[in-house]
Amino acid sequence: MECGMVLTHLKVQPGECIAVKGTVPPDAKSFALNMGRAGSDLALHFNPRFESHGDTCIIICNSLQGGEWGQEQREPDFPFQQGQDAKICISFDDQELTLALPGEQQLKFPNRLGLEAIEFFSVEGDFRVKSIKFK
């Protein structure tokens, strides 16, 4: 998956939100938002798949620790549409990460790495970022 944007040396604290606004292209296959300590230590790999890796309209969430993937969490509720704008707000605490998705959908994923700050954030694949805000 092509990497679109990488932010490092962040200091996002528990309770703060990373709000990403962007557009999903009409021919999108999938995109991913990653956050954690570094590219090889991700508390969250958030991967909506329109049609990718044999999946259709499903969200895959996972963690990556020391280069090793954890167990996938598969979410069938799919609020994204090709050719539409989307806003995603990600916050966390010591227990879990919470994602506010389009259509007032909310998704939770365990904080398997026990991160106390988010230092790394990346966007890859079929998502054109319009803005990122830290609140």
Q: Please give the DSSP secondary-structure letter assigned to residue 117.
A: S
- At 14-50, the pLDDT tens digits run 999 999 999 999 999 999 999 999 988 999 999 999 9
- At 104-127, the pLDDT tens digits run 999 999 999 999 999 999 999 999
Question: What integer pLDDT is reported at residue 3 of this predicted model?
Answer: 60
Domain limits for position 46: 3-134
Between the alpha carbon of residue 90 and those of residues 18, 63, 123, the distances in Å are 5, 15, 13
What CATH number does the domain containing 99 carry? 2.60.120.200
pTM: 0.94
Q: Is the pLDDT of residue 96 over 90?
A: yes
State how many domains the chain has.
1
